[in-house]
Amino acid sequence: GEDVEQSLFLSVREGDSSVINCTYTDSSSTYLYWYKQEPGAGLQLLTYIFSNMDMKQDQRLTVLLNKKDKHLSLRIADTQTGDSAIYFCAESYNTDKLIFGTGTRLQVFP
């Protein structure tokens, strides 16, 4: 079945880059997403990438996709304390059924 895995925790110093990794098993995934979850707020879509792309950049965010290895990463440049949150990767074949990873808690310290 479908499975999406992430490391549970990442701690970085303010100003450094953060790299959050994700692996998935479903090779038919069409869309791959990164969501941010802050306490008391809903999941916020940060960015997504189509499976036929290998990179997407959006301001401080860079998504890299290695389709052969089924590996997805999110790089946050110049990480700020406001970036502290839980980050979920997710995959889907269409835009409806999302399969989420376990989430990575990012902690940014000064």
Partner 1 sequence: GAVVSQHPSWVICKSGTSVKIECRSLDFQATTMFWYRQFPKQSLMLMATSNEGSKATYEQGVEKDKFLINHASLTLSTLTVTSAHPEDSSFYICSAQLAGDEQFFGPGTRLTVL
Is residue 11 a contact residue for partner 1 (CB under 8 A)? no
| 25 is a contact residue toward partner 1 (CB under 8 A) | no
107 scored as a contact of partner 1 (CB under 8 A): no
First to last CA, the chain: 41
Q: Give yes or no for a contact between 108 and 79, defined as CB atoms under 8 angstroms apart.
A: yes
Interface with partner 1, residue 110, by CB under 8 A: no
Q: What is the CA radius of gyration of the chain?
A: 13
Sole window of 37-45, 52-60, 64-72, 73-81 interacting with partner 1 (rule: CB under 8 A): 37-45
Cα 68–chain centre separation: 18
Interface residues toward partner 1, by CB under 8 A: 4, 8, 35, 40-45, 88, 94-103
